[in-house]
Amino acid sequence: MPIRQITVYGEPVLHQRAAEVTEFNDELRQLVADMHTTMDAANGVGLAAPQIGIGLRIFTYIYADQDSAPERGVLINPVLTLSKVSQASPDPDEDAEGCLSVPALNYPLKRADYAKVEAVDEFGKPVSFEATGWFARILQHEFDHLDGFLYVDKLTPRWDKRWLKAKKALGWGVPGNTWLPGTDEDPFGH
């Protein structure tokens, strides 16, 4: 399973809605395997297909302490049902998120505490489970990628200012920036 390049904020595929998966074949299963390998090499807890330049509604995840869901999996053409999101200010420690497509940075963002997901796996078999807490956050974060949003697109004004400064300093917001897990320096210091 090859490790894929991870696209960085500004790559067009990250900023548009991904297409539904319609064919469940060996090519799709190979893509899913590559996504798991890439996610593991990047020390990520989730990876959406747009993050490796593929505009399809697929994401992988790994998270050990969740409710009744498998510890590791793939969700294809997912639908999320969420609880309400608190309107309180995000806590910089409790609500901080990072993203493989916004490497080395993290900012706080409020998310729903509960998510129910309905999807299919790489064989087209139904997958359904509920998640709470951090696992619900992971699902929302990856699902946003499928709709063309990164978590930094949803920051409150206070944190958005900091993000815009960092984006400018790093030269992001244009196509062509990528990093390769396992080869390039780990931007998160794992």
**Helix or strand holding residue 161 (H, E):** helix 157-170
Active-site residue among 11, 97, 142, 185?
A: 142
The full DSSP string for 131-154 is EEHHHHHHHHHHHHHHTT--GGGG
- Looking up tokens 């900091």 gives 162
> Are the C-beta atoms of residues 47 and 39 closer than 8 Å to each other?
yes
Look up 142 and say whether it is catalytic.
Answer: yes
Q: What pairs with residue 114 in β-bridges?
A: 132
Contact of 92 with 82, CB cutoff 8 Å? no
Q: How many CB atoms lie within 10 A of CB 181?
A: 22
| 77 and 48 Cβ atoms separated by less than 8 Å | no
Instruction: In whole angstroms, give the CA distance from residue 59 to residue 3.
Output: 15
Residues taking part in catalysis: 142
